[in-house]
Chain A
Amino acid sequence: MSARAGPEPSPFGDERAAGSPAPTAAAGVGEPLVQVRDLVKHFPITRGIVIRRKIGAVRAVDGVSLEVQRGETLGIVGETGCGKSTTARLIVRLLDATAGEVRFDGEDITTVKGARLKAVRREMQMIFQDPYSSLNPRKTVGSIIGEPFAVHGLERDKAGRKRAVQELMETVGLNPEHYNRYPHEFSGGQRQRIGVARALALKPKLLIADEPVSALDVSIQAQVLNLLRDLQRQFGLTVVFIAHDLSVVRHMCDRVAVMYLGKIVEIGSGDALYGFPRHPYTGALLSAVPVADPDAPKRERGLLTGDVPSPANPPSACRFHTRCPKAQALCSEQEPMLEDKGSGTRVACHYPLTREEVAEIGVRSAR
């Protein structure tokens, strides 16, 4: 595969205020590839079969703003149901937003349709979690990886398409001779490589990886993570990496956003966020990760109690206040905004963690 000229690396440390008005200038190198502003997605809850009445809404994503710089990897972490996958699907327009704006390469794509949408989608591709259900079992690997060419009317001549597909297979570490095999003939890790090859076929600018390794065995997981990192370096890809495994996200991502019940509670560089988490939820997540070191202090730590509340009826003001060990009256009255609290991350919390508290709850990545 011929390497596309990678974009200029952008300074990742630059924590731009995602909440401030966007520069409306045309696409330029210094501009983020993706700008998401106040994104909202509510799924209606209906009752009745013949006459469907809307009786409520699941507020899956409820006011998310973030930016993805060119060439960086942004990680989104959070527990099941926090809205991380919905956010990703909104960015690539697999779902339509209820409100808010997604700008890609300077263009507002929140409501684009038809041919324009198809053109935009060529620039962004997705890798899915389950390598078993995301590949059509009746198609050969060659036609699965070649499908994006067919959809977009590229590489029309048969021999040329085969050559392009085989180059892709080589790039992701598959044997090009296996062009005519079916997905069931491959192992889980190889299937995930097929998914990666398919995503790379159109040379996208943005790659969204939704839990790409959580279905794989430990030894295979590392192979796929290394592949993704190599490809990113090789092609200068911008990546949004969604995962629930905080160690994997630490390894893969320049910046990390932590989501809770449809909102970002903390966002910043990986070093800052893991080294000195300020939001009590970030702290609780990090202290809950089991560490492969039996000498580490045993868990007497800041365990969260209870379950995540329903996103159909989230708590008022700060959504974490019902489970937060530091919650006070203000937390249920006034919603905290994402703000810089002087440690390199922006955090939505009235009473952010101090260094002593981070040490107390046993965050192993703390510096």
Chain B
Amino acid sequence: MSVAPHQPLLRVEDLHVEFSTEDGVVHAVDGITYQVERGRTLGIVGESGSGKTVASMTTLGLTRSQGAQISGRILFEGRDLVALSDGELRAIRGNEIAMIFQDPLSSLHPFYKVGYQLIEAIRAHRDVTKAQARARAVELLGLVGIPDPSRRVDDYPHEFSGGMRQRAMIAMGLANEPKLLIADEPTTALDVTVQAQILALLERLQRELGMAIVIITHDLGVVAEMADDVAVMYAGRIVETAPAEIVFGGPEHPYTWGLLKSIPTLGGSREDDLVPIPGTPPSLINRPSGCHFHPRCPYAQPDHARIDPPLQAVPGEPTHHVACLLEADVRRRLWAELRAGRLPDEALAAAGLPGEPS
């Protein structure tokens, strides 16, 4: 369904976002580059504090008012959003690019009816009468699967269940048929059965409307089901990016391995212990030297504390980029061992690497 792929819908180039605080400068986003093609889904995975939300909010100019220092380019259909004025950005936000947030209860205004809030979103960008906007609001609520939409349009947010509120948020996001929908943890607050409904809804709407989706989540299961391409973020950087099959089938970054080995699986054996990533995510004010992951990496070598690895294409895989100082063949040996159920120490020995004296 994609049109001319030579100009991607969204291209983020070397984006940096920093916040000055009393404690020092927070390097929330530290030089990330990615692109999203029309009609495709990019999954951004990372833990809290990895910069995934800040990066996306910056796309919509939502970090400007918080005193953020922004550099780099965010090209949406060739226009640099970073350079636009607030007014120009407002014409794009909610119109060509829409965002849905994690917590639907605090993202809807409790004093206003759901329908009123939808009508507001429509009339902000379309010159239509209230009656026309209301008809569109009812249509949108029906589209996202709210039963009896012509009655529920006059409900207040508290009269909706959690799943229905998230559907209402999606309806609001879709109000102006955006080309790009940014979904920040859209199902994290929801139960699994409702999560499955919402993900199926997003997939259906994407097929019908042909929009691109950026889905931000910490849940690798959600990413595996939704995303065409995946970017793994750690400490404000993208450490690995590739098509989803590659990230799950042949990941090359030790952090990605750590994430995959630390989640229990439905069909897995109970005897296998989980292999957690040691330590905690670093402070974004005083980041570790060299490779930011080295203090938690079981395979780190002494010089990894000095050298900062760039995001580079994996030899022989042009769509797969990774920021790791280990040699490609060492990485493949390590992953083969881990995949066979060995622990990081055993994998280290098998790959012939000296263990880090820690």
Using a CB–CB cutoff of 8 Å, the interface residues on chain A facing chain B are 79-80, 187, 189-190, 217-223, 225-226, 229, 244-248, 250-252, 270, 274, 284-296, 298-299, 301, 303-308, 364-365
Interface size class of B (residues with CB under 8 A): 35 or more
Cα distance A111–B267 in the bound complex, in angstroms: 41
Cα distance A245–B263 in the bound complex, in angstroms: 11
| Chain B proximity of A102: nearest CB distance (Å) | 27
Contacts of B244 in A (CB 8 A): 294
Task: Knowing A217-B281, A219-B277, A222-B262, say if A289 contacts B192 (CB, 8 Å).
Answer: yes
Q: Which residue of A lies closest to B217 (CB)?
A: A290
Using a CB–CB cutoff of 8 Å, the interface residues on chain B facing chain A are 47-48, 147, 161-164, 191-197, 199-200, 203, 218-225, 244-245, 248-249, 258-260, 262-268, 270, 273-278, 280-281
- B147, B200, B265: residue with the most chain A Cβ atoms closer than 10 Å: B265
Cα distance A225–B272 in the bound complex, in angstroms: 12
Task: Knowing A217-B48, A270-B270, A303-B196, say if A292 contacts B191 (CB, 8 Å).
Answer: no
CB-based closest 9 A-B pairs: A290-B221, A251-B264, A222-B276, A222-B262, A288-B196, A219-B277, A222-B274, A79-B191, A292-B220
Q: By the criterion CB–CB under 8 Å, are B199 and A299 in contact? A: yes
Task: Knowing A292-B260, A296-B224, A299-B196, say if A247 contacts B218 (CB, 8 Å).
Answer: no
Cα distance A365–B270 in the bound complex, in angstroms: 12
Q: Which residue of B lies closest to A286 (CB)?
A: B266
Q: List 9 A-B contacts (CB under 8 A).
A: A218-B259, A219-B276, A222-B263, A289-B192, A290-B222, A292-B223, A295-B248, A298-B225, A307-B161
Q: Which residue of A lies closest to B264 (CB)?
A: A251
Q: By the criterion CB–CB under 8 Å, are A290 and B199 in contact? A: yes
Q: By the criterion CB–CB under 8 Å, are B275 and A222 in contact? A: yes
Q: By the criterion CB–CB under 8 Å, are A292 and B265 in contact? A: yes
| Chain A proximity of B212: nearest CB distance (Å) | 18
Q: By the criterion CB–CB under 8 Å, are A289 and B221 in contact? A: yes
Q: By the criterion CB–CB under 8 Å, are B225 and A291 in contact? A: yes
Q: By the criterion CB–CB under 8 Å, are B47 and A219 in contact? A: yes
Contacts of A225 in B (CB 8 A): 264, 274
Q: By the criterion CB–CB under 8 Å, are A219 and B262 in contact? A: yes
Q: By the criterion CB–CB under 8 Å, are B225 and A365 in contact? A: no
Q: Which residue of A lies closest to B49 (CB)?
A: A217
Q: By the criterion CB–CB under 8 Å, are B245 and A294 in contact? A: yes
